[in-house]
Amino acid sequence: MSLTGKVALVTGAHRGIGAACARALAEQGAALILADCLDCRETAAAIPGSSAHAVDVADEASVLALFAATKAKHPRLDILVHAAGIIQEKPLLETGAADFDRVIAVNLRGSFLIGREALRWMQASSPKPGDPARAILIASDMSYYGREQFSAYVASKHGVLGLVRSWAREFAPAILVNAICPGPIDTAMLDAAHMSPEWRAKELQIPLARFGRADEIGALAAFLAGAGGRYFTGQGIGPNGGSIMP
């Protein structure tokens, strides 16, 4: 129970990677604060002692309200896993400014707002020497390369890596900041509402020839949050089945 006594905030906790990360942290003993724009009470119900909160990560007032409510119940924050995000498959010439703005607002502005307030809380919590707090943001393997018809998403996730690298330098050694950059993971983001059958087929053209599982990302988040992650900061770590080998 390496995370016993730690408090963790997980966004995007309604389902998929966020819910899997929450479960993995809870299995290691962390107390969980769960947040999502959708109802994450089902995730919370499966994790004794956790709390569920509504948040629009792109809206500053909503983010500030989330932190005000959770600070009233917890004296400190030790771990952030920011998994909230959206994806959009659309050719550039069909992408309107509103489409682009929405993806950037949720994925990049949301990372900035949640990350800023989490780091502020972590810094005020005075992490113990040798036991730094952890901020883990979910980026994408597409953070490293361009992909046709996903330009807004790629730009947003590339920006997340920029935040991670900057914050890792700014807050070291008291807070370690890393990104997880998954390849194709079998979640709702890969369903027909978000990605065409053609792109789902292309996603399988990787060395491991399968979609990853959300619990595999959760296991990595738990590792980075625990004792094994003490020498990682500013990194983009890629559980991606070999889709990219930076």
Residue 53 confidence class, pLDDT cut points 50, 70, 90: very high
Q: What is the mean pLDDT of residues 208-220?
A: 96
- Residues designated catalytic: 153
Residue 195 confidence class, pLDDT cut points 50, 70, 90: confident
Model confidence pLDDT, tens digit, residues 217-243:
999 999 999 999 999 999 999 999 999
Measured CA to CA, the distance from residue 174 to residue 194 in angstroms comes to 38
Q: Are 61 and 80 in contact (CB under 8 A)?
A: no
Q: What is the mean pLDDT of residues 81-107?
A: 97
Measured CA to CA, the distance from residue 108 to residue 110 in angstroms comes to 5
3-class secondary-structure state, position 144: coil
Read off the pTM: 0.95
Measured CA to CA, the distance from residue 11 to residue 40 in angstroms comes to 10
What pLDDT was estimated at residue 192?
56
Average pLDDT, the chain: 94
Measured CA to CA, the distance from residue 59 to residue 75 in angstroms comes to 24
Measured CA to CA, the distance from residue 66 to residue 79 in angstroms comes to 16
Domain 7-237 CATH superfamily: NAD(P)-binding Rossmann-like Domain (3.40.50.720)
Query: Is 70 exceeded by the pLDDT of residue 78?
Result: yes
Percent of the chain clearing pLDDT 90 (strictly above): 86
Query: Is 80 exceeded by the pLDDT of residue 202?
Result: yes
